Amino acid sequence: MATKASRSAARFMMAPAVVLLLGWMLVPLIMTLWFSFTKYLPLRGDSIDRGLDWVGFANYARFLSSSSFWPSVQTTLVMVGGVLLITLVLGILLAILLDQPMWGQGVVRILVIAPFFVMPTVSALVWKNMLMDPVNGIFAHLWRFFGAEPVAWLQDASLSSIIMIVSWQWLPFATLILLTAIQSLDSEQLEAAEMDGAPVLKRFWHIVLPHLARAITIVILIQTIFLLSIFAEIFVTTGGAFGTRTLTYLIFQRVIDSQNIGLGSAGGVYAIILANIVAIFLMRIVGKNLDA
């Protein structure tokens, strides 16, 4: 039983973490909200000290009506959706494969998860140059070997190329989580189904997939949160050109390149709302798990 003393001690011990996170969340958030309602162009002399002009919802309206807004939303959706689809489908197949008895399972596992530990700037630059360079990249060598014309990946297929790079980074994560989930599958149930003569696809559809449902949902939610804020991979490859400007990157450009803080902040608020919609679903699942 927790005594009254230990309870107040507990509250005291939680204080630093709670206070720090509260500050980290509220201070920048309030500033962003404030800026989003003002005209704030530091290069034209606007500054907090001199006072910012209140412009109401003008920035919000302008951000929405700008010609780059909808394309950026579309790019974001295609990128997140594409990476999710690739990592989930390949992840499930790979997890099932890795769950089978084989020689050198430990080594294969290490090979498969390695990309997750490569820092984003490295994986983006290695793919951009060593693999996707239209003249000297491995893909160009391979294409020429088969008599095909090498592709200028990051120009002509820029969005798909970035999806490929990001999928390579996140496939290990999906695989690892799905593998962990598969390993907790009751193998006797599968054997019983096998002995009853249920074909492979049926066994997968009726036993494996339902068992993985929760893990799949978690992979989707967590990856979505990380993928919505993909930055370095675009920053060092295309710099947002050739139709790879996501919402995150658009906001980044508004704030850093054009130094339009008001407009960028309004965009930031949209991004925060978008991320929170995803977050609510994730929290529900994690929260349920806390009760169990």
Partner 1 sequence: MSRTVTKQRKMITTAAAWTIGLIIFFPIYWTILTSFKTEAQAINDPPLFFAFDWTLENYALVQERSDYMKFLWNSVIIAGGSTILGILVAIPAAWSMAFVPSKRTKDVLLWMLSTKMLPAVGVLYPISLIFVEFNLLDTRGGLVVVLMLINLPIIVWMLYTYFKEIPGEILEAARMDGATLKEEILYVLTPMAIPGIASTILLNFILAWNEAFWTLNLTAANAAPLTAFIASYSSPEGLFFAKLSAASTMAITPILILGWFSQKQLVRGLTFGAVK
Per CB under 8 A, the list member of 77, 85, 89, 114 interacting with partner 1 is: 114
DSSP for residue 184: T
Per CB under 8 A, the list member of 110, 148, 209, 241 interacting with partner 1 is: 110
DSSP assignments along 155-177, one per residue: HHSHHHHHHHHHHHHHHHHHHHH
Tokens found for residue 51? 């006072």
Q: C-beta of 212: minimal distance to partner 1 in Å?
A: 11
Q: C-beta of 113: minimal distance to partner 1 in Å?
A: 6
Q: Quick check: 89 binds partner 1 (CB under 8 A)?
A: no
Q: C-beta of 159: minimal distance to partner 1 in Å?
A: 18
Q: C-beta of 132: minimal distance to partner 1 in Å?
A: 10
Which CB sits closer to partner 1, 58 or 109?
109
- From the list 244, 237, 242, the residue with the least C-alpha distance to 123 is 237
Q: C-beta of 67: minimal distance to partner 1 in Å?
A: 20
Q: Find out whether 219 and 171 touch, Cβ atoms under 8 Å.
A: no
Per CB under 8 A, the list member of 37, 63, 153, 173 interacting with partner 1 is: 173
Q: C-beta of 261: minimal distance to partner 1 in Å?
A: 5
Which CB sits closer to partner 1, 136 or 155?
136
Under rule CB under 8 A, which residues in 251-270 are in contact with partner 1? 251-252, 255-256, 261, 264-265, 268-269
Q: CA-to-CA distance for 110 and 132, rounded, in angstroms?
A: 25
Q: Find out whether 244 and 234 touch, Cβ atoms under 8 Å.
A: yes
Per CB under 8 A, the list member of 21, 85, 89, 241 interacting with partner 1 is: 21
Q: Find out whether 58 and 76 touch, Cβ atoms under 8 Å.
A: no
Per CB under 8 A, the list member of 156, 186, 191, 257 interacting with partner 1 is: 191
CA 85 to chain CA centroid, Å, is 12
Place of tokens 């790879």: 244
Per CB under 8 A, the list member of 77, 89, 111, 209 interacting with partner 1 is: 111
Per CB under 8 A, the list member of 113, 152, 185, 193 interacting with partner 1 is: 113
Q: Quick check: 109 binds partner 1 (CB under 8 A)?
A: yes
What 3-state class would DSSP assign to 212?
helix
- From the list 173, 169, 136, 168, the residue with the least C-alpha distance to 152 is 136
What 3-state class would DSSP assign to 38?
strand
147 Ramachandran zone, left/alpha/beta (phi>0; psi -120 to 50): left
Q: Find out whether 75 and 243 touch, Cβ atoms under 8 Å.
A: yes
Per CB under 8 A, the list member of 45, 56, 104, 147 interacting with partner 1 is: 104
14 Cβ partners below 8 Å, 6+ apart? none
Q: Quick check: 79 binds partner 1 (CB under 8 A)?
A: no
Q: Quick check: 185 binds partner 1 (CB under 8 A)?
A: no
Under rule CB under 8 A, which residues in 140-169 are in contact with partner 1? 141, 144-145, 168
Question: What are the angstrom distances between the C-alpha of 208 and each of 202, 203, 204, 289?
Answer: 9, 7, 5, 21
Q: Quick check: 203 binds partner 1 (CB under 8 A)?
A: no
Under rule CB under 8 A, which residues in 39-78 are in contact with partner 1? 48
Q: Quick check: 123 binds partner 1 (CB under 8 A)?
A: yes
